[in-house]
Amino acid sequence: MTTAFTHWHSGPPYFDFVARMARAKNARGFLEVGVRDDTTLSRIDCPSIGVDPFFQTTGNVIGKKTNLHLYQMTSDDFFVITNRVGSSTRRST
């Protein structure tokens, strides 16, 4: 697999680091804005949300996830929509 970015440090690749952190922290959810291809999202096992206007996935993005929601739109549009929905379901205290 080739990536568009060159690895200039001695640590693990970004996508491996993120997947390890999600497992180590027992993440209950994962949001990836700017999915592009499935390089990172396919390595995450917990329920996930992916946002990208131009998905280019080639593999099994779902993997071991119990659920996955993909939004093919800009992140600006995604946050406008989710903020609108979230504000209508919040209770004032």
The predicted pLDDT at position 92 comes to 53
In tens, the pLDDT along 50-62 reads 999 999 988 899 9
The pLDDT of residue 9:
72
Give the mean model confidence (pLDDT) for residues 87-92. 57
For the chain, percent of residues with pLDDT exceeding 70? 84
Mean pLDDT of 11-39: 93
**Bridging pattern class, strands 48-51 and 30-33:** parallel
Q: What is the CA radius of gyration of the chain?
A: 15
- Looking at every residue in the chain, the average pLDDT score rounds to 87
